[in-house]
Amino acid sequence: GKLFSRDACLPGHTDSPPGAGGCADGHPRAPEEIAAADPGRDLCRCNLDLCCTLRKVKPLDRTLAGLAAWLNGRKGYHGATRIGLPAFEIEARRLKINPLRHWTRAEVDAWFAAHDLPRLPLEAQGFLSIGCVPCTDRVAPGEDIRAGRWRGQAKIECGLHNRTV
């Protein structure tokens, strides 16, 4: 895969956090489809859209199959394309809920502190928006929080949140 290891994200946390019942693992489950489309394992350099579709969009579609709604963690301070997110969207006949759309970085930090939630170790290393390993870079102080995603490319979203409605 092209994802950061689970241990790199939350060392020692192999299970869902308390109260997170019903969380699903959206890891790619079609290695043969990926192998056929990306035999040289370089799709992330030659066709970003297809790479994201195979490794992110399709796995999420499989995870959400049969569900009427899903919560996501998009926040308005995560770049210009996310400012003004609505509370609810209808996407692929499914309700998409954006409960954190108006939260500020300070509010997110305060929530983590108040609920004693672990922070991603990658965040302390400057990875403020985390995607796949080859398409995620550290963000320098003062840069937009998503500046490290697809650095140097025109791409700004992986496809999870900009589908045809």
Q: Does the pLDDT value for residue 162 go beyond 80?
A: no
pLDDT in tens, 52-77: 999 889 989 988 999 999 999 999 99
What confidence score (pLDDT) does residue 35 get? Answer: 84
For the chain, the domain total comes to 1
C-beta neighbour count of 146 within 10 angstroms: 21
If we measure between CA atoms, which residue out of 3, 2, 76, 86 comes closest to residue 37?
A: 2
CA distance 99 to 110: 16
pTM for the model: 0.80
Cα-based distances in Å from 157 to 73, 107, 110, 132 = 14, 24, 27, 12
pLDDT in tens, 108-160: 999 999 999 999 899 999 999 999 999 999 999 999 999 999 999 999 999 98
What confidence score (pLDDT) does residue 4 get? Answer: 80
Are 9 and 120 in contact by the 8 Å Cβ rule? The answer is: yes
Does residue 50 form part of some domain? Answer: yes
Does residue 113 form part of some domain? Answer: yes
List the structure tokens of 18.
């308390």
What confidence score (pLDDT) does residue 10 get? Answer: 66
Domain harbouring 43, CATH code: 3.40.50.620
User: What domain range includes position 82?
Assistant: 24-135
Query: Which residues are tagged catalytic?
Result: 158
CA distance 157 to 92: 18
Does residue 165 form part of some domain? Answer: no
